[in-house]
């Protein structure tokens, strides 16, 4: 079945971004965070593409996400960042993925079940998930088969934030005392902080998908291009209004294009004010309010626009983020299920 809206996904750009990130931390392996359906792109498709390029370490948030991936590529390991709740144990013991144990209860639960290989998250100042340094060195972890010890940076997108160096030092001191085979600290922004942050394994997400994670991160290539089809063209006479609430009035005779995309697809109302599409060389600004399933553009500058044409929606992540107040993460993960995802 053909959908009137699609995401054009650039597989070469995805792989190029993964290689570029890996080259920032030459002594570390470069993994990939593919939680939240691969930040909206499609987690299994991202995993298979990156596995073909040589990526061996993948991260999802939950066991439901792990199961949805289907069979894992040969030689690949998957870590489940949220660890094991009591309700997860059946699935977790049967699945090839490893839990990232985050709390004392999770450690005990995994050990009592004889769970085998696992990862462990230690908190170094973010106060989100993870056991404390004191817990990590208390004997709690003795005898566990720990593959990777992880921590997570709170402020890596701000290279001047003093917490970065503090977390780096605390993690370096602690990681050696946890009997793990590998150490992993950096997300995308952490990689940009420098090779010191690489340790043995890095876990980028947003930058793989074209997000600019921080200063120096502009070299990534965009991966996601949302496209929507024109359902109708109409002439709006001068002085008439467009859309819900009649928030936009035509100051001149206007040719309007009605697109098959709306806030239910992740094109939120906050993107309306500064949003635009492109048809050939023409820029088509959003006019009026974004509807649930529809979006109206001023196509006066594109006299050739016709019903059925595909319009590329502006999705420059840093710029759209700046203009809308939504984070690049929110922009990507909000992309809805009605888009047909097409890799090219
Ligand atoms: C989401 C996540 C990542 C990836 O973060 P990005 O900022 O998208 O690169 C890495 N590690 C953990 C623990 C995460 O939750």
pLDDT at 218: 97
| pLDDT tens for each residue of 53-106 | 999 999 999 999 999 999 999 999 999 999 999 999 999 999 999 999 999 999
pLDDT at 94: 96
Ligand 1 centroid to 261 CA: how many Å?
29
pLDDT at 247: 97
> Collapsing DSSP states into helix, strand and coil, what is residue 45?
helix
When pLDDT is averaged across residues 325-332 and rounded to a whole number, the result is 98
Is ligand 1 within 6 A of the CB of residue 33?
Answer: yes
Is ligand 1 within 6 A of the CB of residue 203?
Answer: yes
Task: Provide the pLDDT confidence category of residue 12 given band limits of 50, 70 and 90.
Answer: very high
Is ligand 1 within 6 A of the CB of residue 156?
Answer: no
Q: Which residue has a Cα nearest atom 4 of ligand 1?
A: 205
Burial group, residue 112, by CB count within 10 angstroms (0-12, 13-18, 19+): exposed
| pLDDT tens for each residue of 45-67 | 999 999 999 999 999 999 999 99
**Distance of alpha carbon 25 from its chain centroid, rounded?**
20
Active site residues per annotation: 35, 244
- Boundaries of every domain in the chain: 31-209, 224-343
Provide the β-strand partners of residue 33: 59
- Asked whether the whole model's pTM tops 0.85, one would answer yes
Distance of alpha carbon 11 from alpha carbon 5, whole angstroms: 19
Q: Which residue has a Cα nearest atom 13 of ligand 1?
A: 152
**Distance of alpha carbon 119 from its chain centroid, rounded?**
22
pLDDT at 274: 93
Q: Quick check: 1 pLDDT over 90?
A: no
Ligand 1 centroid to 336 CA: how many Å?
21
* Radius of gyration, CA atoms only, the chain: 23
Atom of ligand 1 nearest to the CA of 39: 8
Burial 195-214 (b: 16+ CB within 10 A, else e): eebbbbbbbbbbbbbbbbbb
CB 242 within 8 A of CB 272: no
CB 115 within 8 A of CB 99: yes
Provide the β-strand partners of residue 79: 59, 98
pLDDT at 225: 98
pLDDT at 76: 98
Given ligand 1 and candidates 205, 212, 213, 217, which is best to mutate, with the most ligand atoms within 8 Å of its CB? Answer: 205
Ligand 1 centroid to 190 CA: how many Å?
10
Is ligand 1 within 6 A of the CB of residue 187?
Answer: yes
Distance of alpha carbon 238 from alpha carbon 249, whole angstroms: 8
Mean pLDDT estimate for the chain: 97
Q: How far is CA 18 from CA 51, 110, 142, 205, 221, in A?
A: 11, 32, 35, 9, 10
Q: Which residue has a Cα nearest atom 6 of ligand 1?
A: 205
Q: At the topology level of CATH, where does 224-343 sit?
A: Lyase, Ornithine Decarboxylase; Chain A, domain 1 (2.40.37)
Q: Please give the helix or strand (H or E) that residue 234 lies within, else none.
A: strand 224-236
Is ligand 1 within 6 A of the CB of residue 289?
Answer: no
pLDDT at 302: 98
Strand ranges inside 74-171, DSSP E: 77-80, 98-101, 118-121, 146-150
Atom of ligand 1 nearest to the CA of 203: 10
When pLDDT is averaged across residues 174-179 and rounded to a whole number, the result is 94
Q: Quick check: 336 pLDDT over 90?
A: yes
Q: Which residue has a Cα nearest atom 3 of ligand 1?
A: 187
Given ligand 1 and candidates 33, 58, 123, which is best to mutate, with the most ligand atoms within 8 Å of its CB? Answer: 33
| pLDDT tens for each residue of 208-266 | 999 999 999 999 999 999 999 999 999 999 999 999 999 999 999 999 999 999 999 99
- Say whether 224-343 and 31-209 share the same fold: no
Distance of alpha carbon 216 from alpha carbon 214, whole angstroms: 6
Is ligand 1 within 6 A of the CB of residue 21?
Answer: no
Atom of ligand 1 nearest to the CA of 100: 13
Distance of alpha carbon 67 from alpha carbon 35, whole angstroms: 12
When pLDDT is averaged across residues 327-334 and rounded to a whole number, the result is 98
Please report, rounded to a whole number, the percentage of residues in the chain having pLDDT higher than 90.
99
Domain 31-209, CATH 3.20.20.10 — does that match? Answer: yes
Q: What is the DSSP string of 152-214?
A: --SSTT-TT-HHHHHHHHHHHHHHTTS-EEEEE---HHHHHT-GGG-TTEE---GGGGT---S
Ligand 1 centroid to 3 CA: how many Å?
31
When pLDDT is averaged across residues 278-284 and rounded to a whole number, the result is 97
Burial group, residue 172, by CB count within 10 angstroms (0-12, 13-18, 19+): middle
Ligand 1 centroid to 145 CA: how many Å?
23
pLDDT at 238: 98
Is ligand 1 within 6 A of the CB of residue 125?
Answer: no
Ligand 1 centroid to 61 CA: how many Å?
10
């Amino acid at each position: 079945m053909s959908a009137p809206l699609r995401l054009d996904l650039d597989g070469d750009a995805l792989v190029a971004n993964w290689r570029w990130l890996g080259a920032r931390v030459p002594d570390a392996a470069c993994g990939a965070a593919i939680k939240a359906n691969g930040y909206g792109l499609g987690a299994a498709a991202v995993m298979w593409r990156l596995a073909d390029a040589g990526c061996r370490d993948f991260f999802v948030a939950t066991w439901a996400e792990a199961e949805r991936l289907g069979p894992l590529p040969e030689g690949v390991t998957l870590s489940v960042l949220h660890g094991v709740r009591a309700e997860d144990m059946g699935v977790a013991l049967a699945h090839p993925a490893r839990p990232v144990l985050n709390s004392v209860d999770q450690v005990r639960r995994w050990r009592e079940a004889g769970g085998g290989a696992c990862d462990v998250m230690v908190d170094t100042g973010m106060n989100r998930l993870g056991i404390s340094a004191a817990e990590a060195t208390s004997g709690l972890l003795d005898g566990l088969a720990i593959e990777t010890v992880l921590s997570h940076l709170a402020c890596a997108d701000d290279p001047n934030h003093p917490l970065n160096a503090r977390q780096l030092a605390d993690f370096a001191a602690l990681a050696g005392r946890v009997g793990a085979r590998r150490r992993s600290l950096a997300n995308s922004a952490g990689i940009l902080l420098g090779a010191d942050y690489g340790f043995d394994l890095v876990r980028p997400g947003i930058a793989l998908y074209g997000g600019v994670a921080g200063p120096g991160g502009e070299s990534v290539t965009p991966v996601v291009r949302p496209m929507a089809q024109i359902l109708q063209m109409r002439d709006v006479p001068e002085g008439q209004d467009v859309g819900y609430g009649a928030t936009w009035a035509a100051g001149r005779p206007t040719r309007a294009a009605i697109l098959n995309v709306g806030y239910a697809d992740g094109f939120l109302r906050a993107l309306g004010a500064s949003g635009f599409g492109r048809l050939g060389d023409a820029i088509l600004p959003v006019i009026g309010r974004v509807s649930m399933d529809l979006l109206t553009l001023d196509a006066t500058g594109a006299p050739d626009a016709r019903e059925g044409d595909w319009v590329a929606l502006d999705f420059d992540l840093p710029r759209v983020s700046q203009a809308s107040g939504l984070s690049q993460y929110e922009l990507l993960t909000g992309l809805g299920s009605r888009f047909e995802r097409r890799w090219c």
